[in-house]
Structure 1
Amino acid sequence: MEVRSLEIRIIKANDLRVVNLINKMDVYAVVSISGDHLNNQKQKTTVDKDAGPNPNWNFPMSFTVDDAAVHDNRLTLKIKLLSDRSLGDREIGVVYVQIKELFDSIVQREGGGDDTGNKEKFGSYSVRLSNGKQKGTLDLAYKFGEKYNVESLPPLPPHSAEQYDEKGMKAPPVMAYRSTFPAPSSSYPPPVDAYPPPPGGYPYAPPPGAYPASHSGGYPPPPGYGYQPMQPPKKPKKTGGGKVMAGGAGVAAGLVGWWLVGTVIPDV
């Protein structure tokens, strides 16, 4: 299959329809080619901030078109102009151009030859609104490269084309990093909750000064239910006469004992 390159430069737009009520429009363009399987991706310009109805980009783009589809007039260049807004972008207008029209204009300029060389041509095209009316113009530059056989070229590496975000800005390349964390292993100990409790549970230690536990493992019943509370011993009353009487009784008992021993033993 014979193809050729098509380079387009979206220069500027003039007198566009104003779709913002308060702030100035931030305008960008989305470009695509319909009619063949080589150009199924859209390309976007940068956003011209506070441009209003007269944005300026001078943004280059590159496509590859089927040479037979160009001559058969099957390819259409579509340029959609939009206003960038935080609550949702709004369409301003669309420009449609037949690729054969661009190619024929360069061929006629070069004297009717099929080889277009490396010449760039400029053109101004009307912007069509959603209701079919025309409002504003779009200026662009374009040029075609020499045709070549696509089957003789080596395949392109994956992700070789430059990527752009939804605002038309060039996105940074995606890098892959190898993780430095160790892989999970079955040798790691189980979590703390996985350890079983000791047999019989943990022993209960009563606080100091509490009632001693009974043989059944619980607290003793309150007074009145078969349990007599412990009473501290009473101290004897301190009386001087009592101590004297107690001492005298002891001495008398000792004398009686000695008298009995001395009386009974001789008789025996």
Structure 2
Amino acid sequence: MECRHLMVTVMSAKDLKNANIFGKMNPYVAASLSGVADKRQKSKQRTPVHKHGGTSPRWGHPLYFTIDEAAARVGGLKLKFKIKAVKTLGSDKEVGRVEVPVKELLEQGGDGKPTVMSYSLRLLSGKTKGVLELSFKFGKRFTLVTPPPPDEPVTGYPPLPMHGAGLHPPPAGHGDPSQEYPPDAAPGYGYLPQGDAPPPPGYGYPPEGYGYPLAAYQQMPSDGGNSWLGLAKGLFPQLPIRDMISDALEAAAKNDGFDDALDMNN
């Protein structure tokens, strides 16, 4: 995009409509560039306030714009100037405005030399009142690089890892509400299967040297409310000594006497 810098110096105004009933008003000029497609070219600026400037204020303040020359030459760009008076109460009051086609400025002073122009101001009522004096100067042509489009926005999030930090496949039956993890299962700690089902892959028993299998504590059988018998059957599954101790405890439970019950040679 071929562009040029434009410096506009807001010099002065005269014969303005007086917005004050008593005393001199404090005017300033607000300017903007309209019709631009690139947001980097949009620029709203203003001059300082000329305190007690009254109906003939002076500013001598420069404003800077970036102009797309091709768009300006087809009449697509306009400079808008509004003269406002500062009000102590309420919003500032507009006392005149003018729109200047940038194409007209290029035709009058596109050679880069300072040029002075005067424009009649229009009131909100549509009548004309006052004159605004401007000086402008165009800079050299340069190429404005168009920025690349922004990256595609993220529309979702990756799935959360499964229990066990995602290192093992889910247990069989995963997806069936009746087979899913219990609501209070903590991530990374697995859970104990129901009934006599073996643990799922990745959730097996702890290595040797770390005590009895967890299933012994989770699934200790109950035998008629006899806690000793249930403990023996739970702690010694599939061992011959389990049956021996179970028999001894059963005998004790039947009041046969602990001495006879523990005599394992008879």
- Contact 1:13/1:53, CA 8 A, preserved across alignment: yes
Going from structure 1 to structure 2, the CA distance change for 1:65 and 1:80 (only over 3 Å counts) comes to same
> Partners of 1:124 and 1:59 in 2: how far apart?
16
1:124 alignment partner, one of 100, 118, 131: 118
> Partners of 2:47 and 2:59 in 1: how far apart?
7
> Partners of 1:152 and 1:19 in 2: how far apart?
44
Which residue does 1:182 correspond to in 2? Answer: none
Displacement of 1:145: 1.1
SS at 1:151 equivalent: coil
> Partners of 2:42 and 2:142 in 1: how far apart?
20
**4+ long deviations beyond 4 Å:** none
Determine what percentage of the aligned residue pairs are the same residue: 40
Structure 1: which 5+ runs fail to align? 108-115, 154-268
- Contact 1:126/1:135, CA 8 A, preserved across alignment: yes
Give RMSD over aligned pairs.
1.5
> Partners of 2:41 and 2:95 in 1: how far apart?
24
Structure 2: which 5+ runs fail to align? 148-266
1:56 alignment partner, one of 58, 61, 67: 58
Displacement of 1:152: 9.3
Map 1:189-228 → 2, pairs under 5 A: none
Q: 1:84 is matched by which residue type in structure 2? A: V
> Partners of 2:42 and 2:5 in 1: how far apart?
15
> Partners of 1:2 and 1:57 in 2: how far apart?
31
Which residue does 1:226 correspond to in 2? Answer: none
SS at 1:8 equivalent: strand
Which residue does 2:32 correspond to in 1? Answer: 32
1:22 partnered with 2:22? yes
Q: How does the TM-score come out when normalised to structure 2?
A: 0.52
Equivalent pairs counted in the alignment come to 144
Displacement of 1:41: 2.7
> Partners of 1:43 and 1:80 in 2: how far apart?
11
Displacement of 1:83: 0.3
1:106 alignment partner, one of 98, 105, 109: 109
1:85 partnered with 2:87? yes
> Partners of 2:41 and 2:85 in 1: how far apart?
24
Which residue does 1:94 correspond to in 2? Answer: 97
Q: 2:18 is matched by which residue type in structure 1? A: V
- Contact 1:32/1:39, CA 8 A, preserved across alignment: no
1:143 alignment partner, one of 134, 137, 140: 137
SS at 1:23 equivalent: coil
- Contact 1:7/1:60, CA 8 A, preserved across alignment: yes
Displacement of 1:39: 3.1
Map 1:156-167 → 2, pairs under 5 A: none
Which residue does 1:69 correspond to in 2? Answer: 71
Q: How does the TM-score come out when normalised to structure 1?
A: 0.52
> Partners of 2:4 and 2:128 in 1: how far apart?
32
SS at 2:145 equivalent: helix
SS at 2:140 equivalent: coil
